[in-house]
């Protein structure tokens, strides 16, 4: 059982490295930098992650506006 768990869950990162953080962010919405899809974002409240969200199909999170916009308006590295 342990071998199966580790082979499916141990990606070389501890949970802190792969979890989004609000450290240094004021209240608002921010790109989830732990995801490479440019669609995932977090809501920070009192320097803590209050909510995890994802933009609708065909949209990406616009860091400048703090909201989802059409994908062609948001460059996404690796896409």
* Stretch 30-45: mean pLDDT: 94
Burial class (CB in 10 A: 0-12, 13-18, 19+), 42: buried
Residue 25 lies in a domain: yes
Residue 9 lies in a domain: yes
Torsion of CA 70, 72, 73, 79, to 10 degrees: 110
Residue 76 lies in a domain: no
> How many domains, the chain?
1
Residue 15 sits in which domain range?
A: 2-63
Q: Taking every pair of C-alpha atoms in the chain, what is the biggest distance, in angstroms? A: 46
Q: Does the pLDDT of residue 4 top 70, yes or no?
A: no
Per-residue pLDDT, 77: 78
Per-residue pLDDT, 79: 56
């Amino acid at each position: 059982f342990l071998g199966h768990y580790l082979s499916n869950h141990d990606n070389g990162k501890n949970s802190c490295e792969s979890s989004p953080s609000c450290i240094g962010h004021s209240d608002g919405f921010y790109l989830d930098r732990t995801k490479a899809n440019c669609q995932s974002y977090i809501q920070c409240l009192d320097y803590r992650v209050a909510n995890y969200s994802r933009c609708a199909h065909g949209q990406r999170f616009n860091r400048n506006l703090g909201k989802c916009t059409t994908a062609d308006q948001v460059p996404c590295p690796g896409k």
